Amino acid sequence: MRTLLQRVTRGRVTVLDGPAPEVVGEIGAGVVLLVGVERGDTEADADETARKVAALRIFPGRTPMDRTLAEVGGAVLVVSQFTLAASLVRGNRPSFDGAEVPARAEALYLRVAASLRAAGLPVATGRFGATMSVDLANDGPVTFLLPVAGGRVRDTETTGS
């Protein structure tokens, strides 16, 4: 599971499918998570992703990276982003062979959101499989890649396709 985490002052996701655009998730200060579910990811990966996000000290306090989401009263906007599972190794067209099948990916994406809610954080989501527009104001800017496999956070230096 690959999650791109961005600290934000605001975030909103609008579904573009249908007769008119529909805002389905919106937060103030907090983090936007773009969650890419890879083939073979498990519930343990979803739970570890949520646990790590909730525990990260990425908000200013005594130091620039000192406080957690809960400590600053932040919220989370979770958006499914299957393109994070793409491989760009061959040719000029991304390969999505590493992405999990949609039914399984949706369940794991929703589990990340549910685990964050269970940790007491306010959570908004996008709509799985929809065409969406994500609008955010990156705070800092602060952006992290959080790769999780086998129920453990992996070093970005050792992950990849």
Amino acid present at 106: E
102-118 and 43-55 helices, crossing angle to 10°: 40
Residue 62: partners with Cβ closer than 8 Å, 6 or more residues away: none
Determine which one of 3, 49, 81, 125 is catalytic: 81
Tell me if 108 sits within 8 A of 41, measured CB to CB.
yes
SS3 content of the chain, % helix, strand, coil (to 5): 25, 40, 40
Name the catalytic one among 9, 83, 156, 159. Answer: 83
Strands (E), 16-109: 22-27, 30-36, 75-80
Residue 42 is among the residues annotated as catalytic for this protein: no
Q: Is 81 a catalytic residue?
A: yes
6 is known as an active-site residue: no
**Residues acting as catalytic residues:** 81-83
